[in-house]
Structure 1
Amino acid sequence: MAKKMSEENKKKGRYILYSLVFLVLGFIFAFSYRTLGKDSGETSPSPTFQEEEQYRADLIVQKERNKELTDEMRSKQAAIREFEQSFSENEENHAVLVEEAKDLRLLLGVIPAVGPGVRVTLKDGDYDPIEQNPNDYIVHESHVLRVVNELKISGAQGIAINGQRISSNSYIKCTGPVIQIDGRTLPAPFVVEAIGDANILSSSLSLGGGVIDGLVHDNIEVTLEQLKVLKLPALRDES
């Protein structure tokens, strides 16, 4: 009887031990699950962290876009500067061409000319027709041509003789005491007017041994004037 009770007590003791063991194991499992679950929750990104990462990514993209726009703007600015420089050069070239065209029209005589210049008057010299040869004292086309050519070389922009505008194609022919310019007869005295720098034109004509000295040597009376304003008609302008 006592032996049987001892076995039953042993069985109850084992049951109690197993229960305690299972209880402890359950507690351990529950504690481990809580710990692991808590740790897992801490390692996963929070909504705030995700938003910050998204902002950083957007900021990087925006910076790259800004760099692209800055490079594009610099390229456009360089193109604009090149265009402005080209436009400026074209404007300058255009102004030069316009001025050259104007000078050419003045030289050709196709437009009236106004400006400072000089007036050279050539008169026949005094002579005794009985004792002296008249041809040695009258103005010939060669005398007029000397004056005209010197004025051209000195930069005259327009030249007229007795109000008759001349061009590079004009011809001068002497017929006794008169000369013909482009078929128009003009009597002495011959007044040669030229527009340009009056000081330069006057100085070139007055050089020692130059045009005026040569004319005086040929018994021609020469008068040289500098004028602030001269008006020359256009070629074949009869007004």
Structure 2
Amino acid sequence: MNKKKEKLAIIGVSLVLGLILSVQFKTINETVGNGVLPTQRAQELANEVAKLKSEKDLLTKQLEELENKVEQYEKEGISHDTYAENLYKDAMKYRMLAGYTDVHGPGIILEINDPPIDPQISDSYGIVDELDLLLQVISILNAADAEAISINDQRYTSFTEIVRAGNHIEINGVSTGAPIVIKAIGDPDTLESALNIKWGIVWQLRNYDYVVNLTQNQDIKIERYRKAKEFIYAKPVEEE
């Protein structure tokens, strides 16, 4: 019964988080959409956003506490049961593969900053304008056996969308922009070599005047993918 209550609580907190984000987006969109943003209204909007962010942070903390309790219940339920323990390990492995659990380990950190602004050139550009370069980085890391990847702390999974929206990028539905910080867990030497190969992606970025910093790190933390995915059309194939 306790497990059921905890899971229902997690669902409830997740729904409230989604509602807060929707209200925040609607408020900003309606205000900015008018084309005029008086100083007083701007201050009110800033205060409202700060309040919503505070509420979101509190709910996120509560959600993490509930998830930790559920995980504790799961561990207690498998004690002294080898079969259940093996099932739990398999479940954790698939959660990691799907990106639904926090992970940490050795890997690389790639930071990409926009080119320095040249006052003599009217047409400036940035990484927001060249998503193909970001996608190349992700493809190369996957080819180099990266076990987990994040972009500006957004976990990259098979469901992740990376799209341009105005003057920023949407990743997992979250707005972000330069600098772009890509973290990848895997063999640090292999990942670094794959990115640093002659005429490779790091060379391309620097050739386009992007400021690139690539380093190895022995303990990178990558947070889980937090959007819920419901399968409506896809169903498992029944074995005959």
How far residue 167 of structure 1 moved from its aligned partner, in angstroms, is 0.2
Which residue is 2:114 aligned to?
124
State the aligned residue count.
Answer: 143
Q: Do residues 153 (structure 1) and 143 (structure 2) align?
A: yes
How far residue 173 of structure 1 moved from its aligned partner, in angstroms, is 0.9
How far residue 175 of structure 1 moved from its aligned partner, in angstroms, is 3.1
Counterpart CA distance in 2 for 1:199 and 1:138 is: 25
**Aligned residue identity for 1:113:** V
TM-score, with normalisation over the residues of structure 2?
0.53
Counterpart CA distance in 2 for 1:149 and 1:231 is: 20
Which residue is 1:230 aligned to?
220
Counterpart CA distance in 2 for 1:141 and 1:104 is: 29
Map 1:1-239 onto structure 2 (within 5 A): 104-135=94-125, 137-139=126-128, 140-236=130-226
**Aligned residue identity for 1:174:** R
Of structures 1 and 2, the larger Rg is shown by 1
Q: Deviations over 1:164-210 (max 9, x none)?
A: 11101211012354211121101210100001100100000000011
Identity %: 32
Q: Specify every segment of 5 or more residues in structure 2 that has no aligned partner in the other structure, as ranges.
A: 1-85, 228-240
What is the DSSP-based 3-state SS (H/G/I as helix, E as strand, rest coil) of the residue aligned with 2:199? Answer: coil
**Aligned residue identity for 1:228:** Q
TM-score, with normalisation over the residues of structure 1?
0.53
Q: Specify every segment of 5 or more residues in structure 1 that has no aligned partner in the other structure, as ranges.
A: 1-94
**Aligned residue identity for 2:160:** S
When you count helix as a share of all residues, which structure comes out higher? 1
Which residue is 1:54 aligned to?
none
Counterpart CA distance in 2 for 1:141 and 1:101 is: 34
Asked if structure 2 preserves the Cα contact closer than 8 Å seen for 1:110 and 1:235, the reply is yes
